A and B are shown apart, each in its own frame.
Chain A
Amino acid sequence: EVQLLESGGGLVQPGGSLRLSCAASGFTFINYAMSWVRQAPGKGLEWVSAIVGSGFTSEYADSVKGRFTISRDNSKNTLYLQMNSLRAEDTAVYYCVKGRQFYESWGRGTLVTVSS
């Protein structure tokens, strides 16, 4: 059974940083691209970033480009999202997702709140 467990969310001030982690199990992690998708309170889904299985290539939404960095440690089956220069509009539940072309498994999400 595929399991994706996010951690690292919380309350941070504008301009601050957070690093999200996602522990993956139940599948061969290195064989799959992974993504982060977020959902602001009461809003729809927004794709944030994706990374290929090797970790060599990544893509970002324009809204986070230059501020967020996606990475992965295939030896630990873990996906990361380093978030810098956080803004109020980054407040959302962040989901770790298996896949890039389509999102076949989702974690429960971790809430990031950017507020002073």
Chain B
Amino acid sequence: QSVLTQPPSVSAAPGQKVSISCSGSSSNIGSEYVSWYQQVPGAAPQLLIYDNNKRPSGIPDRFSGSKSGTSATLGITGLQTGDEADYYCGTWDSSLSAGVFGGGTKVTVL
């Protein structure tokens, strides 16, 4: 059971938008920055979003992040077949003094 809660899967047609939610508590998302990671099959995860809404260089602006209270959201617009992957949210939990991740969300492009 993950500390952060994500939907197991989301799907949409090419060109459409998907949103992935990440729910936590006051000791993690509510008081810490959130990051998001993309993991394509067979590869290591890659940082997509850090500090709630910042994109590393090289990450297209089709990917966006937001946070409100104890929840965060990753948005992907202009969905492409190459976006099919597992997506994870992550943050620090100040009560656990540990890093925590969501269980992951599989994005399928229909």
Residues of A within 8 A of B (CB): 35, 37, 44-47, 50, 59-62, 95, 100-109
Contacts and interface: CB of A to CB of B under 8 A. Distances in A.
- Top-10 shortest CB links A-B: A47-B99, A102-B35, A102-B50, A106-B44, A44-B104, A45-B101, A44-B103, A104-B47, A45-B88, A61-B98
Contacts of A108: 44
Contacts of B2: 44
B24 interface: no
B47 A102 contact: yes
Interface secondary structure of B, over-half rule: strand
Interface string B5-44: 0000000000000000000000000001101010100001
B63 interface: no
A109 to B, nearest CB: 6
B100 interface: yes
Contact of A45 (B45, B47, B51, B92): B45
B90 A104 contact: no
Contacts of A95: 44-45
Query: A44, A62, A100 — which one has the most chain B CB atoms within 10 A of its CB?
Result: A44
A103 B90 contact: yes
B33 A45 contact: no
Interface residues on B, range: 20 to 34
Given A46-B101, A50-B99, A103 B33 contact: no
8 contacts: A44-B101, A47-B101, A62-B98, A100-B99, A106-B45, A106-B46, A107-B44, A109-B44
A41 B102 CA distance: 16
A59 B45 CA distance: 22
Contacts of A44: 2, 86, 88, 101-104
Contacts of B92: 100-101
Given A45-B104, A61-B98, A103 B44 contact: no
B97 interface: yes
